[in-house]
Structure 1
């Protein structure tokens, strides 16, 4: 039987629920506490690995909820530690390594870096950088090659079934599943009358935000931002006034008040 709830919240992490500098969610704790008290599911949806998200999900108190990992490339089951096979990631690296040398040399990803280099590039402590490097479904990195070769790089990978998506920090390679498609899969386990709320701050969150009943673009002056979306004209998608978890907290509490308190 589908799980009964009025609201299911899907949320990006970096720059959205986690602040840009410290990767902390303290400012969102009032809303998280309210969600826990009312039994509102929180589905984390991030470019982070299953191992990273499992730890954060547990700390936030939502280990019983599934999560969308590696930018939509996979799903982390409830109460899972994220320990699954990495066959998809192995295929992505094989595709990369089969490219002509000028194209392969232009991309540098987590697999190419040591744990210390991942820590330096992400700003994460080394223990967390080790989890970030444990890829299962995707490969994030930077295109450092000549700009005029980027289209050739993307086209060559596409011919092998590998897609690239631009997030707040990285160009992430995967086999094409998205946060939006995984959101639809996960909602099959919930009350079909439940409202979906999706919050994000970067271009890779747009499809998820547009697919939700309630979309929220979280202010992040450190990222590329999101261009105006059509549904903002109708109010189905809104923007926060405050950055990161502060804006997240404010809009989630307001939505809970609208759906729960005013309807009893």
Structure 2
């Protein structure tokens, strides 16, 4: 739907724009399925509401999910490492530094993967720790660790702005030591369910959401932003939107966070996602 058509469709009302985390939010934590949220997703897309993925997942992973759902839209990769905007998606100029490649305008906010990898190697050698990530492990071993099929692991391994280390090889105390050394390289680590994710210290989802929201405002005029997440790395995302929504974790608890106006939605992952969309957007 063209930008002008969307403005007409919403008849002067603010255009809703949804920013959503994936793993544990739109997707089920262990199976990565979106079946529980499929109907709400389809309702969102039918109404021309932009659905923006904002995740630790790579470009290839997010493209794959978009293809399965049958739509194209901007998306935010690797916890805010970059914003990918399909060419011709917006009918306005993009006023942020970007490059154009592979059919996208790419706003790069993170540290390039090669620099992240070099820091990992340096710290590993300095501390004598077994810091092993996607760049070190064979495909078969990553498949066993994650339960993913080889094609999915291949998409996850094509990192551009972050590295994922498997924490089973080091202790919590050693990870804290690694965190201190990462600061020397302008990097930081975030512990997630399966991996310790290393990215730029100034890279977060909130900065990327703020930039993309500004572009949407230029293209659509008035917008209303919604954000959905489940974990601590979603705090910047939820802090950057007008309507922050937190879904439950697999144990039916909510991540501890203090964000004004936060809606704690009952329902684990995609079940909570669907309930939140229907409650907030009435669809």
TM-score (norm 2): 0.80
Q: How many residue pairs end up in the alignment?
A: 252
- What CA distance in whole angstroms lies between the structure 2 residues aligned with 1:207 and 1:224? 20
Aligned to 2:273: 248
Aligned to 1:165: 190
- The SS at the match of 2:222 is coil
TM-fit CA distance, 1:209:
1.0
Aligned to 2:250: 221
The answer to whether 1:29 aligns with 2:58 is no
8 A contact 2:124–2:131 mirrored in 1: no
8 A contact 2:239–2:259 mirrored in 1: no
Aligned to 2:215: 189
> Per-residue displacement from partner, 1:95-153 (whole Å, max 9, x unpaired)?
11112536362422111211122222222111110110111110012333243333331
Q: CA distance change for structure 1 residues 87 and 133 in 2, over 3 Å: closer, same or farther?
A: same
Aligned to 1:107: 131
- What CA distance in whole angstroms lies between the structure 1 residues aligned with 2:172 and 2:269? 31
TM-fit CA distance, 1:218:
1.1
Correspondence list, 1:30-69, <5 A: 30-63=39-72, 65-69=73-77
TM-fit CA distance, 1:81:
7.6
8 A contact 2:21–2:229 mirrored in 1: yes
**Cα RMSD over matched residues?**
2.7
Aligned to 1:155: 180
Aligned to 1:202: 231
- What CA distance in whole angstroms lies between the structure 2 residues aligned with 1:212 and 1:230? 10
- What CA distance in whole angstroms lies between the structure 2 residues aligned with 1:217 and 1:72? 19
The answer to whether 1:118 aligns with 2:142 is yes
Deviates more, 1:16-25 or 1:150-159: 150-159
Aligned to 1:10: 19
Unaligned 5+ residue runs, structure 2? 8-13, 88-101
Q: CA distance change for structure 1 residues 87 and 190 in 2, over 3 Å: closer, same or farther?
A: closer
Unaligned 5+ residue runs, structure 1? none
